Structure 1
Amino acid sequence: MSARVLIAVAILALLLSLSHNNTHAMPDWLLWLAGGFTVVTVLVRWLARPQGPGRAFDAQWFYTAGVDLAYFITLHAQQATTINYTPLLALPVLMTATLGSRALALGTATLATLLLLGNAAWSASVSSFEGTTGIAQAGLTGAGLLLVSLLTNQLSMRLAREETVARRSRNEVQTQALVNTLVIEALPEGVLVVEPDYTVRAANPAAQLLLGIDHEVTPDRFSLLDNPAWVQLMHVARITLADGPIDATEITLHHEDRHSSHLQVRTERTPALGEGGSSLCVMFLQDLREMEARLRTEKLAAMGRMSAAVAHEIRNPLAAISQANALLEEDLRSPAQQRLTAMVRQNAERLGHIVNDVLDIARVQGTSDADSHAIQALPLDEETEAFCNEWAQQHQAGARLRIDLQAPQKHVQFAREHLRRILVNLLDNAARYASQTTAAIEVATRATRHGPIALMVWSDGAPIEASVRRHLFEPFFSSEARSSGLGLFICRELCQRHGASITHERTVRTLIDRTSPDPTSPDHLVEGNEFLVHFRRAHGPHSMLEAQEQDHV
C-alpha cells in the first residue's frame, strides 16, 4: 500500500513536470486522473484493512488491484509521453497474488494480458509493423505476468502457513513459559539460574528468602559476588559448570544481619545455548531446618499411630495384671509381699496412665468436626473453680493451691471435657515441680476488653532448661524418665482444635503471707513457670455453636 502511494505521487509529479515544460501535449483530464488516483491510494493506505491471503473475489479487489489495473492501462494506451508504463502492471498482479486466491491472481494477470493485447490490436490498425511488434510484446508481458502471479501466490500461501505455525508455536511457548514461571514461583524450594560469570539470571521468591535478598536494594539480575555470604554458592556453581551436576551438598550462609541459613543444594547443568553459547547452572535450595521439621512430623505421626495400636494391645493384659494383683493382695499378709504387690500396683497404674495418654492423643488427632456440638459457651470462672476444687480434693492440695478468678460472667468457646483435661494436665504438671509452700500453685483468669480471655496456671518450680523448653509441647518428650511426655502435647492439640493457644513464660508473682499474724508483713516476689491459655470469646451464655451459626444464617 505504501508503494502504491509512492508510485502514484511519482507519476503525478512526472506528468505535472512534463506539462509545465510543454515538452509534450498533456490533456487536462489525464492530470485530473493522476491526482484522483493519488487521492485514492492515500485513502486506501489510511483507511483500508485488507484481508487475506487466499481469499476469493470480493470488494477489496476493486480498491487494491482493479483501480491500479485500469489506471496503468489508461496511461499505457494514452501514449501522451514516450514513457513505457507496462512494468507498472506487475503491481496489481502482485497485490492480487498476495491478498487473493490463486484463481484470482491468475485472473488478474489474464485480464492485464487481454488489455495489453487489445491495446496492441488497436495499434495494429494504424501500423501493421508496429502492431505486430506490440502484439508480440503484449504476449510476452502477459506470459511474464501469469508466471509472476503464480509464483507470488505460492510464496504468499507458504509464508501465510509458516506465519500461522509460528504464531501458534509462539503462543504455545508463551503459555508454557507462563506455566513454568507460575510453577517455579510457587515452589517451596528455592531455584537459582546462574550464568558462568556468577550472574543470577532468575531467582524465585523462595530462593530470594533463603538468600536474604532485600528487594529494595537488589536488582532482578545480581551476582553471587555481591554478598560475601554467597561465596559457597559461587563455589557450587563453579564445580557444577566444570565437572557436572551435584546430587546434594550442605552449605551454610553466614549473614551479617540475621542468623545463618543451613541449606541443602542440588544442581543441574543445562546444555550450551546456541552456537558459541555457554551452559547455565540451575540450583535447587532447601532449608535443612524445614526438612528436619517435616521429617520429625512424619516420624511423630507414624509413632503416634504405632503407639495407639500398641496401647490398645497393652490395655487388656494390663487390666488383667491389675485385677490379679488386687486379688493377690487380699490373700497376702507378709509385709515384704505386700510391698511387692504395691510396686506392681503402682507400676500398673503408671502404665495405665501412659496408655490413656496415648489413646487421648489418638482421640484428639482423629476427632473430626462432627463433635462440634460439644463446643459450648462455657462460663470460664465457674468451670475453672469447679475443676480446681475437684482436683484439690483428689490431691489434697489444701492451701498449696490458690485460685484467683477475675473474669466473671465471661464465656469462652470450648468443650467442657476438654477444658477439664487441660486444667488437670497443667495442674498435675505444676504439682510435680512446685514446692509444698502456701500458694505454690496458682490458677487465675483474666479478661481484657475487646480481647481474648486468658487462663493462667502458675507454679513456683525451678526454671525449665532451654534445651527442654524448645521441645516443651512435642509428644513423647519429657525431662523425667517416669513421664510419658504427652500431657502438654495434648493441651496444645486441644487448644488448636478450639481456636485457642497455649504458651509458656517465666514470670514473677507477688505472694501475700496470709499465715503471718502481722497484717503489715511485706509481700515477697517469687519466680515461677506460667502456662497461659488464650480462649476465643463466646457470643452468649449457654449457647451451642451450631445454634449460633443457624441464628446467624
Structure 2
Amino acid sequence: MAQDHNPSFAPSWFSTFEDHGSLGREQRRHAFERLWRAFMRARAFIAAVLLALQVFELLNHSGGPNWLVLVSALHLTAALAVMFWWPVDNPGKAGGLQWPLTIGVDLLVFALLQFFQQGGLNYTPLFALPVLLAAVLGSMTLALATAASVTLFLLGEAAASAALLSEVSASRFLQAGLTGTGFFIIALLANQLAVRLAREEVLAQSSQAAARAQAQVNELVIESLSEGVLVVDPHGVVRNANPAAKSMLMGEHYPHAAKLLLSARHGWEGLSHLVNESFALGQPMQSEVRIDIDEFTSHRFFARTRLTRTQGEGHAALCVLFLEDLREVEARVRTEKLASMGRMSAAVAHEIRNPLSAITQANALLDEEVVEPGQKRLTRMIEQNAQRLSRIVDDILNVARVQPHQDGAYAAALPLDPTVRQITHEWNRQNQVQGILGVHLHAPQAHVGFDPEHLRRLLINLLDNALRHASGKPSSIRVITQPGGTDRVRLSVWSDGAPLEASVLRHLFEPFFSSESRSSGLGLYICRELCERYGAQIAYQRSRLDQREGNEFFVLLPGATAGNLPAQQSLAYPMGDSVPGLTRPGLSQADPPSLSTL
C-alpha cells in the first residue's frame, strides 16, 4: 500500500513536517479494523443462518447427517469468539492465527456441508466469503491460496461424486473449473480494489490534514494582519471579518457576536457603495472612504475589493474587502521623510559649521576694535545668533551621533548620584540660576550602565527644557533620583511650568517639533534616542510636588551592580514615544515629599 509517486499529487508545503509513513500505517490499521469487524459480523450471520437451516432439516429429516448440526453450532461459536474476543492483527500479516481461525474454519465447514449435502441445496456460493476475506484484508498470496483451495475442493468433489470419464463427470469438472476460475478472478479484482481504496483513503486523509493545517495557517495570518479584511456577500452582509477590520469599523470594544450589514450601519455608506459597485461591474475596485466611528470620531481608509470566482449556478461570488488605515500610511511616509531629512540635515550641518566658526571668530576680532555702544550691540547680536546657530548644528549632529554603534562598545557601571550632582553643579554655575534648582539624591548605591558623556547630554537637555518653561521662582526646578524597582533607577526632572497642550503631547519626542520658534526641536528626541540606546525608558507626566503642579520628565535607567555593561544591550522594556501607564515607585519615609500623579 505504498503511496504513488504521481506528479498530479503535488505535495503541499506542509509535507516536510508530516510523517507520511506513521500516518499511513495508522490510517491503514483503522481501515483494516473496520473491514475486519464487518466481515466478522457477516460470518456470524451466515453461521447463524446455516445452524438454523441444519436444525430445520434435522426436524424434517430432509438433511444430511445429524452431526452437521454440531458442526454448524461449532462454526457459529468460533465466529462469535473471533468477533468478540480475538485481537486484530496487522493488515496483510499472513502468519497470524486469525487466518486459520477464520478462513480455514469457513473453508472446512462449507466443504463439509457441500460434500455431505442431501437434496437440492448448493453451498458453493458461500465460498465467496473466505475468498473475499482473504483478498480484501490479506495479501495477494493469501487470496490466491484461498481461491486455489476452493478450486481444488470443487474439482475433488466433482471427481468423487461421478463415475470417471462419464458425461456427468465431464460437466461436473467443467462447472467446478469455471467456478474456480470465477473465484480466482474475484480474488484478484477484490485485492486490487482493496489496495487502491486503501491508497486513496491514505491520500484523502493526508490531503485533508494538509488542508486543515493550511486553513489554520491562513486563519492565523488573517487574524494577525494589521490590514482589515472583510468578506461580504451580494446582499451586503459581512460573512467574516478579522479583528483589525472590526477594530477599524467599530473601535476597540466591538461586539463579538454582532451581525454586520454594510447598508444598515450609519457612516458605512462609502463601503457599501464600493462593494455594490464591484458586484455590479464584476471587477475589483479601490477608493478612499471615510468612516464615522461615532459622532466625534471619523477615520479615512484606503479600501480595495476583490471578487471570488463563482462556484456553479446558485453560488454567488463573494467580495473580499481590504481596508488600510491612512493614518498608518501617513505615519510611515512621515517616518521616511524624517529619516531623509535627518540625513540631509546632518550633511548641511557639517557644511555650516566651518563658515559659522569663521563668522564667530571674525565677530570676536571685530568686537575688540569697536568702542561705540551701537556697534557693541551689533556684535553682541551677531554673537548671540551665532551661538544659536551653533546649538542647532550641535543638536542636529548629536542626532546622528546617538545612533547605536556596531563595534560592541561597552559602558561602565556609572555611580548615579555623584554623576548627577556634578552635572547639575556645572549646569547651575553655567546658567547662573542659583536658588532655582533643587537636587534631591536618594540612590547613593545605584549604578547605571550609561556613558558619562551621554548621561550628561541627557540631563542637560532635560534641564534646559525645564528652564525654558519654569517660573523662575525658588526651587521651581527639581532633580530627583530614587530606586525604581529591583533592577531600575529613576531619574526625574520636574519644573513648575504650565501644562502642555494636547497637540504638543502627541509629538513630544518627535524630531524637529517644538512649541517655540527659536528651538530646533531636537532636545527631547535626542534624549529618547539616548535612552533607547542603553535600554532606558523616558516618559512625561503632569505631577504635583510641594503642593505645586508641574511637568515631570522621568527616566527609568537599567541598574548595574559592577563591571561593564554592553552599551547596545537589548531593551528590557517596550519602548515608545511616551509611557503614560508606568507606575510611580514609592519613596521611603526619610525621603522628601514624592511626586504624585494628577
User: Shared fold (TM-score greater than 0.5)?
Assistant: yes
Q: Distance in 1 between matches of 2:187 and 2:492?
A: 94
| TM-score, normalised relative to structure 2 | 0.76
After superposition, what is the alpha-carbon deviation per residue over 1:105-145, rounded to whole angstroms, capped at 9, x for unaligned? 34432332221121011110399565444333223322322
Q: Which amino acid aligns with 1:361?
A: V
Give the match for residue 402 of structure 2.
364
Q: Give the conservation status (yes or no) of the 8 Å contact 1:404–1:443.
A: yes
Q: Distance in 1 between matches of 2:267 and 2:172?
A: 83
Q: Distance in 2 between matches of 1:238 and 1:42?
A: 66
Give the match for residue 302 of structure 1.
340
Task: Specify which structure has the higher proportion of helix.
Answer: 1
- Runs of 4+ aligned structure 1 residues displaced above 6 Å come to 55-58, 213-216
After superposition, what is the alpha-carbon deviation per residue over 1:2-40, rounded to whole angstroms, capped at 9, x for unaligned? 322221221122212322x23325534322221222233
After superposition, what is the alpha-carbon deviation per residue over 1:505-531, rounded to whole angstroms, capped at 9, x for unaligned? 445665xxxxxxxxxxxxxx7654x12
SS at match of 2:320: strand
SS at match of 1:484: coil
Q: Distance in 1 between matches of 2:413 and 2:323?
A: 44
Q: Give the conservation status (yes or no) of the 8 Å contact 1:196–1:241.
A: yes
Q: Distance in 2 between matches of 1:67 and 1:235?
A: 76
Match of 1:223 among 249, 253, 260: 260
Match of 1:417 among 448, 453, 467: 453
Q: Supply the RMSD in Å over aligned alpha carbons.
A: 3.7
Please report how far the alpha carbon of residue 533 of structure 1 lies from its aligned counterpart in structure 2 after TM superposition: 0.8
Q: Give the conservation status (yes or no) of the 8 Å contact 1:377–1:414.
A: no
Q: Is 57-66 or 265-274 further displaced after alignment?
A: 57-66
Q: Is 196-205 or 184-193 further displaced after alignment?
A: 196-205
Match of 1:13 among 52, 58, 61: 52
After superposition, what is the alpha-carbon deviation per residue over 1:67-100, rounded to whole angstroms, capped at 9, x for unaligned? 3223222211111453211111222222233234
Match of 2:136 among 81, 98, 106: 98
Q: Give the conservation status (yes or no) of the 8 Å contact 2:158–2:173.
A: yes
Report percent identity of matched pairs: 46
User: Structure 1 residues 378, 384: CA separation in 2 closer, same or farther (over 3 Å shift)?
Assistant: closer
Please report how far the alpha carbon of residue 545 of structure 1 lies from its aligned counterpart in structure 2 after TM superposition: 4.2
Q: Which amino acid aligns with 1:432?
A: R
Q: Distance in 1 between matches of 2:52 and 2:255?
A: 61
Q: Which amino acid aligns with 1:531?
A: E
Structure-to-structure mapping, 1:138-177, within 5 angstroms: 138-177=176-215
After superposition, what is the alpha-carbon deviation per residue over 1:210-253, rounded to whole angstroms, capped at 9, x for unaligned? 3448999634x943369836844444443333333233433324
Give the match for residue 533 of structure 1.
554
Q: Is 210-219 or 177-186 further displaced after alignment?
A: 210-219
Match of 2:476 among 417, 441, 464: 441
After superposition, what is the alpha-carbon deviation per residue over 1:459-493, rounded to whole angstroms, capped at 9, x for unaligned? 44444333223212211011223211001111222
Give the match for residue 438 of structure 2.
403
User: Structure 1 residues 446, 214: CA separation in 2 closer, same or farther (over 3 Å shift)?
Assistant: closer
User: Structure 1 residues 398, 249: CA separation in 2 closer, same or farther (over 3 Å shift)?
Assistant: same
User: Structure 1 residues 142, 535: CA separation in 2 closer, same or farther (over 3 Å shift)?
Assistant: closer
Q: Distance in 2 between matches of 1:467 and 1:449?
A: 30
Q: Which amino acid aligns with 1:397?
A: V
Q: Give the conservation status (yes or no) of the 8 Å contact 2:538–2:556.
A: no
User: Structure 1 residues 31, 196: CA separation in 2 closer, same or farther (over 3 Å shift)?
Assistant: farther
Q: Give the conservation status (yes or no) of the 8 Å contact 1:441–1:457.
A: no
Q: Extract unaligned runs of 5+ from structure 1.
A: 511-524
Give the match for residue 531 of structure 2.
495
Q: Extract unaligned runs of 5+ from structure 2.
A: 1-38, 570-598
Match of 2:428 among 392, 403, 419: 392
Q: Give the conservation status (yes or no) of the 8 Å contact 2:292–2:298.
A: yes
Structure 2 residue 150 is the aligned partner of structure 1 residue 112? yes
Structure 2 residue 511 is the aligned partner of structure 1 residue 464? no
After superposition, what is the alpha-carbon deviation per residue over 1:411-440, rounded to whole angstroms, capped at 9, x for unaligned? 2525333332223212222333444x5327
After superposition, what is the alpha-carbon deviation per residue over 1:326-381, rounded to whole angstroms, capped at 9, x for unaligned? 445445566666555544433332222112111211122234693442342412xx
Please report how far the alpha carbon of residue 397 of structure 1 lies from its aligned counterpart in structure 2 after TM superposition: 1.7
Aligned residues: 524
